[in-house]
Amino acid sequence: MADSLTERSQNILEAIVEDYISSAEPVGSRAISRKHNFNLSPASVRNVMADLEEMGLLCSPHTSAGRIPTGKGFQYYIDTLLDVRDLNRNEKQNLRNSYRFQNMKMEDIMQEVGRVLSGLSQYTGLVMAPKFISTVFRQIEFIRLSHGRLLVIYVSETGLVQNKVIESDPNLTASDLEQISNYLNSELNGLSIQEVRTKLNKELQEDQTRYDQLKKQALSLSCAALQDEVEDQLYVSGASLMLGQPEFSTPDQMKRMIQTLESKKHLIDLLDSSQSAQGVQIFIGSESSHIDLADCSLVTSNFSNQKGAIGTLGVIGPMRMNYSQVVPIVDFTAQLVSRVLDRELE
């Protein structure tokens, strides 16, 4: 099968994939013979194309003589034939200059990354912020609302902000809440949320007579604020660019594409599944078992800081994506964001 492709078959498959990426049109044997220096007649090229089609690497979208790569064909191309070069110094500097991270909050940084990824690739940029449980505690503040309800504002060490409304003792004063915040900020600063939860649960299980009433309230409020899981934050930029691709030109294709981009839970699940891997990950259309990407591909990479908080960024586009261009952009951007989170932007 595909594992035993000859050099000639690999060359022709590579030519078809790259020509299709450029043109979005089926590629015929005559065009391959004329454009590429294979010293093969159109008939010889047709024979190879027929073999590739039989292997499931190519298909014919209609009755024309042209062929296009299948998801399996793109996967073989990426695994075996794709040549991804490193960005040179000028390209890296230009990419740095594309971002404006100075004096930005965490949420703004995530949106900026998605915007630039989308602009550079002309596809849709995706960024998933570090998971709440992996963030490191910096500060917590309680603001009284009404009827014993408090707005809790949690700030991570990287500047990620989470808000939550909880129930509390209606007799707590503003001074009480300030003392509680000061106590928690002193006790919990620098701990991961997982470490905070462990510490809080341990202290709550101990003999509470050791604590004065205010400290008991502090433990109770912080548990209520930090114990539950927080929904992952996903930022999507440039969704409309996908609708301009030839693959999504019909109403049904547009509808399917919009549903894919609006299904944030599925996209989060897919980005989440890539966090255990190192480097750039590429998910190809129907070859991906995580989500039905239809005619799409997703290129992702993780970013992290020295404290270990991990997020994921990437680009979603048609299977006919220019991988040799997108992969190094995604890879270097992940490295760049990691340095930003450590406040080491060059």
Phi-psi region of 343 (alpha: psi -120 to 50; beta: other; left: phi over 0): left
Q: Report yes or no: 312 and 300 within 8 Å, Cβ to Cβ.
A: yes
pLDDT band at 309 (very low <50, low <70, confident <90, very high): low
Q: pLDDT at position 74, please?
A: 94
User: Where is pLDDT greater, at 143 or 101?
Assistant: 143
The CATH number corresponding to 89-131+232-341 among 3.40.50.1100, 3.30.450.40, 3.60.20.10, 3.40.50.150 equals 3.30.450.40
- Cα gap 132→22, rounded to integer Å: 41
Domains 2-81 and 133-226 share a fold: no
Q: Where are the domains of the chain?
A: 2-81, 89-131+232-341, 133-226
Interval 300-304 mean pLDDT = 91
Q: How far is CA 46 from CA 16, 65, 194, in A?
A: 12, 9, 60
Q: Report yes or no: 76 and 2 within 8 Å, Cβ to Cβ.
A: yes
- Percent of the chain beyond pLDDT 90? 34
Q: What is the mean pLDDT of the chain?
A: 84
Fold of 133-226: Enolase-like; domain 1 (3.30.390)
pLDDT band at 228 (very low <50, low <70, confident <90, very high): low
Please say if the pLDDT value at position 345 is more than 50.
Answer: no
pLDDT band at 257 (very low <50, low <70, confident <90, very high): confident
Closest to 48 measured CA to CA, from 24, 25, 27: 27
Q: pLDDT at position 101, please?
A: 80
Interval 1-7 mean pLDDT = 74
Q: Report yes or no: 64 and 27 within 8 Å, Cβ to Cβ.
A: no
Interval 296-318 mean pLDDT = 86
Residue 254: how many CB atoms within 10 A of its CB? 13
* Residue 158 token pair: 């990287």
Please say if the pLDDT value at position 11 is more than 90.
Answer: yes
Q: pLDDT at position 63, please?
A: 63
Q: Domain 2-81 is of which CATH architecture?
A: Orthogonal Bundle (1.10)
Please say if the pLDDT value at position 28 is more than 80.
Answer: yes
Q: pLDDT at position 339, please?
A: 86
Q: pLDDT at position 213, please?
A: 74
Q: What is the pTM of this model?
A: 0.79
Please say if the pLDDT value at position 259 is more than 70.
Answer: yes
Phi, psi of 291 (to 5 degrees): -160, 145
Residue 102: how many CB atoms within 10 A of its CB? 7
pLDDT band at 258 (very low <50, low <70, confident <90, very high): confident
Q: pLDDT at position 346, please?
A: 41
User: What pLDDT, in 10s, does the model give residues 158-216?
Assistant: 777 888 888 888 888 888 888 889 988 988 888 887 788 888 878 777 655 445 677 77
Task: Report the chain's C-alpha Rg in angstroms.
Answer: 26
Pairing of strands 161-167, 149-156: antiparallel
Q: pLDDT at position 3, please?
A: 61
Element (H, E) at 302: strand 296-304
Question: CA angle at residue 192 from 186 to 198, to 5 degrees?
Answer: 85
